[in-house]
Structure 1
């Protein structure tokens, strides 16, 4: 069985998923070098429109996870250049026809793979990362492209079960063509320096990721201020790291030495160090689907405080791999931080639980890959 995986992201979940699938099918991987923020690939270093993975230095470190000789990096073009984008889509489709796959996996709804999505519409599986748009992020171009791809590609797979029925009802989908799987750990980050099992000498609470209104960063920062001003926990520090525009005034938070705000794009080497140096990570989201942030933390066995929204409770098991709290609640964030700070044995047990469940157990990539294989077989039989 020959499968082509079409992605706009080179790392995060995809290389681990490909690693889980490669022993069950003959898999080819296409990814686009466009914005470094997406996949850390510099398109200006590419001499060809399509470069084989063995010739792209940035991804050679992942040779044990993905087949580099069957990996192709596209020298990307911005969405605004529609004519060139469509021409490039035609060129990519021509290469894919040479491979002659039994099935296509798509992880996005961009123009890059439009011709292939059209040609293989009944033999494709679209990964729907965000079944519903996040607060403040329903951009017109995304809405149009999503509608286009949802109409083209009949078979879709969600990465959480919680939203399956709502998705089917909202978009009027055929329930027999909607599948589910789940995210597992973002192990690509561990290739940047490896996992550090040293115990932290201080207690650091970390928020990281793209800054956006739905992330609830203000609730976290307000909790930080209240903890600091109480004067009871002088050795707790707080870090907010990520690019994007804050939707509130952050000036006052710079007055606290225990709060570190790094408002820039975080390279994987830096992110790896931030997570390793943290004691616990906070996801104070107002709404969510699943979260790559959680999976990045779990790769380093770090527990997560997450809100009870979207698919997060599927990923973070309350009391076992982290703490689930109510959204939009500064008080709930404080209580969760206090609980873990005052009970280091709980943190240690949560870390062990993460390893058992996500690295070796029921929520590993091996198990996630089985759900994908079941979906692929079902589509091919039809």
Structure 2
């Protein structure tokens, strides 16, 4: 089995290729603004065929556009020489649709990591490109049954065309490179990790703070990630209860943050899935998530964490307080999450399902011919 994987998800595509190459073969193209892989990803990708593509940049930037066209031409030329059995697109950006006319000779499988752009991120032309990509794909992959149902109903796709597979734990290995025995859980720390974007519902965690610290006076909320934080400053009732790390978080710094955390909170108001859940599981941390998208499908309520309604600071606070007050429950849930990560959410399980879809796509191509 020879697969080409194209997209803009460095962690995900490297881990996917590593798993796929156990008895198969892959060629990976990742579009990025960087000229090389981060060192942690490079270590994981050692021995894999990974190529970097230039991002197109603004259409009025002729240098960036020329660089993009040149790298795209090289990619398509190498794909033809490689002769894959399938091409697997990883949709984060709809720019991948521009490659489809040159790839139609191969079965195309497309993973939609999000069915539509997040709040505040939509571009008017993306819906047309997404429709074109859906039409051109043999199979559409999503990360959860709720997302599968939405793809079928909202985008009028045949049920047989849409498949649900778990989201693989794509950045655990990179974080775990920096795990240290001398860093332990630090008191009552609630961690919000990742880019600060509107759809992640950070305001509801901030509004939950007075309820949390009323019950657990020494609790602290750590907010770690890049993004626009100014609009959240005025929402803080007790500023000294927060630790804000407002920048890009390296794997090394991130590992320390997860090790220190007692609970990892995902107060999202809208989402498809989140890699933060699997990262928390990798560090044996319980999670508190909201009932949005397919996130509840990877969190067993009362076993690996708690699921609460979105936009409800009091419900969020109650779940967090329950975990902060019960160390035995935290440890139990953390162990359960770790077991789930290495079973249901493991790359072996993800790739077993993915390879079955690849084979079906190949069989379909043969029957069409």
Shift of 1:265: 2.1
Task: Tell me which residue corresponds to 1:215.
Answer: 200
Q: How does 1:93-132 map to 2 (within 5 A)?
A: 93-108=76-91, 110=93, 113-114=96-97, 116-121=99-104, 123-132=107-116
Counterpart contact for 2:191–2:264, Cα < 8 Å: yes
Task: Tell me which residue corresponds to 1:50.
Answer: none
Q: How does 1:180-329 map to 2 (within 5 A)?
A: 180-185=164-169, 186-194=171-179, 196=181, 199-228=184-213, 230=214, 232-246=215-229, 248-251=231-234, 253=236, 256-329=239-312
Distance in 1, matches of 2:78 and 2:237, equals 52
Shift of 1:113: 4.4
Q: How does 1:356-371 map to 2 (within 5 A)?
A: 356-359=339-342, 361-371=343-353
Distance in 1, matches of 2:293 and 2:39, equals 37
> What's the C-alpha RMSD, in Å, of the aligned pairs?
2.5
Stretch moving more, 182-191 or 207-216: 182-191
Runs of 5+ consecutive residues of structure 1 not aligned to the other structure: 35-41, 47-52
Cα 1:184–1:125 shift into 2, 3 Å:
same
Are residues 1:28 and 2:27 paired?
yes
Stretch moving more, 343-352 or 132-141: 132-141
Runs of 5+ consecutive residues of structure 2 not aligned to the other structure: 365-369
Deviation readout 1:8-54 (Å, 9 max, x if unpaired): 1211x3322222211142111121231xxxxxxx32xx6xxxxxx8x
- Which TM-score applies when normalising by structure 1? 0.86
SS in 1 for 2:330: helix
Shift of 1:262: 2.2
Distance in 2, matches of 1:303 and 1:107, equals 29
Task: Tell me which residue corresponds to 1:156.
Answer: 140
Counterpart contact for 2:94–2:126, Cα < 8 Å: no
Are residues 1:4 and 2:4 paired?
yes
Task: Tell me which residue corresponds to 2:330.
Answer: 347
Counterpart contact for 1:205–1:282, Cα < 8 Å: yes
SS in 1 for 2:272: coil
Counterpart contact for 1:107–1:128, Cα < 8 Å: yes
Are residues 1:61 and 2:46 paired?
no
- Which TM-score applies when normalising by structure 2? 0.88
Distance in 1, matches of 2:318 and 2:70, equals 54
Stretch moving more, 116-125 or 345-354: 116-125
Task: Tell me which residue corresponds to 2:367.
Answer: none
Shift of 1:79: 4.9
Task: Tell me which residue corresponds to 1:72.
Answer: 51
Shift of 1:58: 5.6
SS in 1 for 2:10: coil
Distance in 2, matches of 1:197 and 1:347, equals 20
